[in-house]
Amino acid sequence: MKQNATQELRRLMLENPELEIVPFVSDECGNPDYGWTLSSLRSARVDEYVVSPYDDERLLFKSSGFEDFETDYIDTDMAEREEIPDEEIKKAFGALEWEKAILVYVEAY
């Protein structure tokens, strides 16, 4: 584990004891021959996330997912309308059922 990532995770846990810890694991961590593999903590941060209402295989993050959401929103609704106001898209993005958590990123050791 990287020492500064570990220290950051500790700090986040102490400052946010009410938040769930949600691991995001690199696909390089898996090995079909073994049930468990040694991995490394890459980073940790507090953010909000939600499964995209337009693509159930995509996660959106409140801090960085607006452009992906905007593209999907426009692609879905443009068939019915010529123009969609920016404020409508921002309102829809903000109204998603966000989950706030400590996000932990894990990569191959």
- With beta carbons less than 8 A apart as the criterion, state whether 24 and 105 touch: yes
Residue 18 is predicted with a pLDDT of: 98
Token duo for residue 75: 């692609």
Across-strand partners of 40?
107
Residue 27 is predicted with a pLDDT of: 83
Report the domain count for the chain: 1
Please tell me the number of Cα atoms within 13 Å of 8 on its side-chain side: 15
In terms of Cβ atoms closer than 10 Å to its own Cβ (0-12, 13-18, 19+), residue 24 is middle
What is the extent of the structural domain holding 34? Answer: 3-108
What pLDDT, in 10s, does the model give residues 7-63? Answer: 999 999 999 999 999 999 988 887 778 888 888 999 999 999 999 998 888 899 999
Local structure of 52: helix, strand or coil = coil
Residue 28 is predicted with a pLDDT of: 83
> If residue 88 lies in a helix (H) or strand (E), which one and from where to where?
helix 86-94
Residue 15 is predicted with a pLDDT of: 98
